[in-house]
Amino acid sequence: MQSCFYLRFSGELWLKNESSRQKQVKLIIKNLKLPKEWIINKRDRLIILNKNQDLIFDRVSKTFGISSFSIGFVSKDRSIDAIKTIVKNILEDWGNVQTFKVDTTRSDKGYPMTSIEINKELGEFVLNVRPDLKVDLKNPEKTIIIELRRDHVFVSDNVYEGLRGLPYGFSGKAMALLSGGIDSPVATFLAMKRGIEVTPIHFYIDDESLESVKKYIEILGDYGKLRPLELFNHKIWLEKTKERLLELGKERYLCIFCKRRMLKLCEKLGKELGIKTLVTGDSVSQVASQTLENLYCICHGIDLTILRPLACQDKEDIVSLAKKIGTFEHQSTKKCPFVPKNPIIKADLRTMLRIEKDLKDLFEK
């Protein structure tokens, strides 16, 4: 028997054809960033030899496309006696455990015992080794997991939840707007979870926000390799645009044009990079620029597919995920100094386009 990690793929992988499945599995192996000689591909499972448990645990828990994983033992000898030997080895670490059950799954239906028969025999074996234990089929402290395959058996007493999703890089490429706030890195993470390779974009206003973005990129990079950061200086443009809008008596539209400039520059950059999709951290009605009316105006005439993973998420859910992935504590404390006292919340498209003509020289810079 060998100590190993046992990886189970996301259910979506099995909705694809064989060629697509193989591509996804290869991407998962690549994204694990572990020595190839540690990994054994069993088509519907990945076995990773336990050469460095802390390193492997970190990489597996941060790789998309994995539904769950266990740490246990794999053996080519599938006999019931060999399984008992492994179980006895596992029991040595149970300490004060009081209740258990055995859960067997067989992909090899030709095995001489049924799953129920295996559960019963192993349960009796455990009680002989540890008479102090009791069987609890509904809420056991420990579950002995047996997975019988045609050429091996895996035995464990733990299951860890994976990130699920699709392997990073499987679904193509997108640009992603990253600010110093909470939302945008979470939106980027969720896009990555759908297999999208990300090019991060930041519109510079202050140093603190830029440092937050750099930290976000470092953290998100643990989940998938991001492309180099694309940086635009937005501060000077906002200063000039705010001054012009004040002259026109239309300062309330500043947030609208702020976002439109971002999208227009992303559209231009996308053509240079061959990318037609943009990910944003918009959440409906969270701030003035994210009302339905304003989102409609902001996106008018923009030749990009815009993904908004957070569009219908509650703020509490966004914060919870930000804490889970490690970006929350690095948010910038700076508030945008350009936000008007009373920003428009229901922009009118005709009015916006009329004002935009007066800003044409600024948009061309």
User: What pLDDT, on the 0 to 100 scale, is given for residue 44?
Assistant: 85
User: What pLDDT, on the 0 to 100 scale, is given for residue 175?
Assistant: 98
Does residue 91 sit within a domain?
Answer: yes
What type of residue sits at position 64? F
Same domain, 135 and 183: no
**Segment 297-322 mean pLDDT:** 96
Neighbours of 74 (CB within 10 A): 24
Same domain, 142 and 53: yes
**Residues 6 or more apart from 134 whose CB is under 8 A from it?**
98, 99, 100
Which of 161, 189, 205 is the last residue in one of the domains? 161
**Widest CA span in the chain:** 87
Same domain, 183 and 306: yes
What type of residue sits at position 214? K
Tokens standing for residue 19: 């060629």
Tell whether the model's pLDDT for residue 365 goes beyond 70. Answer: no
Total domains, the chain:
2
Q: What is the pTM of this model?
A: 0.93
Which of 161, 193, 219 is the last residue in one of the domains? 161
Same domain, 50 and 78: yes
User: What pLDDT, on the 0 to 100 scale, is given for residue 43?
Assistant: 81
Does residue 167 sit within a domain?
Answer: no
Which of 120, 135, 161 is the last residue in one of the domains? 161
**Shortest CA distance to 232 belongs to which of 175, 161, 183, 279?**
175
Does residue 259 sit within a domain?
Answer: yes
User: What pLDDT, on the 0 to 100 scale, is given for residue 12?
Assistant: 83
Rounded CA gap, 224 and 199, in Å? 11
Burial 297-335 (b: 16+ CB within 10 A, else e): bbbeeeebebbbbbeebeeeebeebbeebbbbebbbeee
Alpha helices in 221-314 (DSSP H): 235-248, 254-273, 292-298
Domain at 137, CATH number: 3.30.2130.30
How far does Cα 249 stand from its chain's mean position?
44
What type of residue sits at position 209? S
Same domain, 134 and 200: no
For the ranges 263-277, 285-299, 332-346, the maximum mean pLDDT occurs at: 263-277
Per-residue pLDDT reduced to its tens digit, 192-202: 999 999 999 99
Per-residue pLDDT reduced to its tens digit, 102-118: 999 998 888 999 999 99
**Segment 63-75 mean pLDDT:** 97
User: What pLDDT, on the 0 to 100 scale, is given for residue 287?
Assistant: 80
Segments forming the whole domain that contains residue 255: 172-363
Q: Between 12 and 294, name the one with better pLDDT.
A: 294
The β-bridge relationship of strands 2-9 and 99-106 is unpaired
The alpha carbon dihedral of 57, 94, 67, 20 has a sign of positive
Same domain, 58 and 96: yes
Rounded CA gap, 5 and 100, in Å? 22
Average pLDDT, the chain: 94
Do 9 and 28 contact (CB within 8 A), yes or no?
A: yes
